[in-house]
Every structure is written in structure tokens, then in C-alpha cells.
Amino acid sequence: MLTIETVKSLVQRVIYAPSSHNTQPWRFRTSASTIDLLADRTRALPVNDPFDRELTISCGAALMTLRVAIAALGQGARVRVLPDSGDGDWLARVEVTSDPPDAELAALASFIEQRRTYRKAFEAREVATEIRASIATATEAEGGQLFTLVDTKRLEAGSLVAEGDRMQWDDPRWRRELALWMHPRRQGDGLSVPTLAAPIAQAVVRTFDMGDGVAAKDQQLLLGSPWLTVLTTAEDDTAAWLRAGQALQRALLTGCRHGLQASYLNQPIQVAPLRERLRSLLGTEAYPQLLMRWGHPVSAAPATPRRKVDAVIEMSA
């Protein structure tokens, strides 16, 4: 039987999962032996993510984190995804069982809180082949596939990122949405900015098209990254997005285990015409879900703020 203390300790770890704009778009409903994962669509990004693809990927990352946390408790977990076709917000049900834990997942638990989105330049050293293979295997275990971009494909991906930056920043609706999620750290979500500077930063983002500058910076980060990958799935629906999120978090935790961090340059996937061009660049029928840069961090990145556990849990009767 799940006690409220156990549920809270599990969810306390789950909330460290990555999410687009740090929106943390998830809720959890618990009963005696199950934890339901639900999408919180009040935290959607209708301009940046009009089909809730990234929202669902974020929830998939939370689902993987829950599986890891349960395994670390020495418990088994049975997962049903999309258990009710009539409830689009109910993404998964996780039953905590007395089955043996998944040892591979349990080994990742100590890295949940250590994982960071690293937005600066990485160390110049390469990512070892065996580490790349380990991360690729982790991705494939959850139904995803990693493509590595090198040489001319890396250059073309950099151009797509820059083009995506310019297209997004040129859209006043996109800038307004970005500004809306720029929050003082104490709020517990969103993109952190200093409390006193928040109103000014929001006004600047809403008002000015900074696409050229952002594009140049992102292109430089991409080209200087030791390892550049695209995570893909065979399908492109809600179930596939949940798989992508689980594959993402398993890959990230595996990378963290080897001393790596990662960040995202998803602009070519967020802008529909560019996504097709990225897909063509990969030479695959699979669907690009995340464009990621990996490397060894130069210094520790600060943790992003998180909401309180009580804000995301509801107890069912």
C-alpha cells in the first residue's frame, strides 16, 4: 500500500524531470497502489507547442523519473500508457508492485537531482565512444533512436537552428509567450530571472526581435558542442511522444552517470517546415523529437526552480 509519505517522496524526485520552458506540465493522482500521471494543460505553450508535443514529452520524462524512483525504493512498477481513450489528460497509470525492481533504472536514481540543462559552452574534450553507445542503448530501450550529426550535417543543423531562431523571434505571439514564462525564481517554475529585473526582461522580450543575436549564439554553441544528436521515434502521436520523453530522461540520466550534461536546440523541430528539412537531413522516415547537444560541463549549472510537491498531487478517494 502506498502511503502519502511514500507518494510525496517519489513525486519529490519526479518534479526534477526536464520540461519545455520549465513549465512542469504534470499532475499526479494517487490511490492505494497506483500513481496516475496527468497532463496539466493550463501549463501548455500554444504558440511554441501547438499540438502539446513537447508537453507530452515532458510528461514522458516525468514518467521515466517515477519509474527510476520506484526502482530505487526496491519496488517493481507496471505501467499502462493512455489507459482511458476518453480522457486525453490521463497519460499513464503506474502500479507499484512487489515485483523485483529494474536494476538498470535503480542505478540511475542518484543522478535525478544532479541532472541539469547546461546552456553554456562545454569543455572541448570529446565524448568517448563507449559513453555515446551507452546513451544510445538507453534511448533505444525506451523506443527511441539517436542520430549523431557530424561534418556537413552538423553545419546544416546549425543553419536550421539559426533559421528557427529568426522565425520564432519574428513572431510577436511567440515573444509574448516566452515573456509570460520568465518568472522570478521564487515562483518555482518557468525561466528564472532576477526578481527585480523580471518586469524589464519581460518587456524587452515582448518588444524586440532579437532573433539575429540569439541565432548567432545558438549556432556557435551547436558548432562547438562535442556531440550533437537528434532523438527520433518511429511514430508521431501521443504514445510516441511519451516514449520520446522516457527515452530522453533515461538518456540524460545515463549521460549524467558518465559526467555529461545536455541542452536542447529544438527550434528546427518546433517550426514545422524546418522539422521536415531536419528529417530529410537525417535521411530517415522516423520523426525528429529533440535536437540535443552533449558534453562535459565546465562548471556546475544551478538547479532550476521547482514547484512544491503538494501543488502537483491529488489524492483520489
What percentage of the chain has pLDDT greater than the value 90?
96
- In three-state form (DSSP H/G/I as H, E/B as E, the rest C), the secondary structure along the chain is CCCHHHHHHHHHHHCCCCCHHHCCCEEEEECCCEEEEEECHHHCCCCCCCCCHHHHHHHHHHHHHHHHHHHHCCCEEEEEECCCCCCCCEEEEEEEECCCCCHHHHCCHHHCCCCCECCCCCCCCCCCHHHHHHHHHHHHHCCCEEEECCHHHHHHHHHHHHHHHHHHHCCHHHHHHHHHCEEEHHHCCCEEECCCCHHHHHHHHHHCCCHHHHHHHHHHHHHCCCEEEEEEECCCCHHHHHHHHHHHHHHHHHHHHCCCEEEECCHHHHCHHHHHHHHHHHCCCCEEEEEEEEECCCCCCCCCCCCCHHHCEEECC
Quick check: 317 pLDDT over 90?
A: no
| CATH number of the 129-295 domain | 3.40.109.10
What are the boundaries of each domain within the chain? 4-115, 129-295
pLDDT, tens only, 124-136: 999 999 999 999 9
| CATH number of the 4-115 domain | 3.40.109.10
Quick check: 10 pLDDT over 90?
A: yes
- pLDDT average, residue stretch 282-305: 97
What percentage of the chain has pLDDT greater than the value 70?
100
Q: Is the pTM of this model over 0.85?
A: yes
pLDDT band at 272; cut points 50, 70, 90: very high
